[in-house]
Amino acid sequence: MKRFPTLFSTFFSTLIVCMTVLLFGCSEPPAFTSTDISGADWGKDFSLTDAQGQPRHLADFKGKAVVVFFGYTQCPDVCPTTLATMREVLTRLGDDASRVQVIFVTLDPARDTSQVLAAYVTAFHPSFIGLRGDDATTAAVAREFKVFYARQAGTTAGSYSIDHTTGSYAFDPQGRLRLLIRHGETPDRIAADLKLLLAGK
């Protein structure tokens, strides 16, 4: 009879330790390289058109990890290097590449017609999709995603460039905004982050 409290105490202590390990193990956040912005109350959706003039929304890509980047086709540096990086990311993902959708949203609808946009993005990878809207729609979507952009006059009459936010946004297969991917991040690290999203992390 004297051993019962001791055995009970040992069992109870062991149970507490096991529960603590399980709880901490379950609550440990995934080791993303990109900035984790899970739970952000913005970047929830867009309403834009594709090269065929069809309206597209974020929900159209549910079941895939989605990477959204805002730019323009005449961008001299950030835009082409970002799309080239994402092409390398898909190569590193292997079979999982079919579960990732890269979307390029133009900030320059005046020059980036549907045809121009489609030719530009598919030159980097045939699965990439270019989306556009009119000026008002573009401004509204940029606000929703907290994207800064501003025209800068060029050296010749009527010419201009566009300063803009350089990061990309990654959504998980459930359509939730999860990551801000910094410009210049390596393909290996981006691929690792997307694999975590595809695994349900």
Residues annotated within the binding site for Cu cation are: 75, 79, 164
* Phi, psi dihedrals of residue 30, rounded to the nearest 5°: -65, 150
* Residue type (1 letter), 48: L
Q: Residue 28 has what DSSP assignment?
A: P
Q: In the chain, which ranges are E strands? A: 35-36, 48-49, 55-56, 65-71, 100-106, 129-131, 149-153, 160-164, 168-171, 177-181
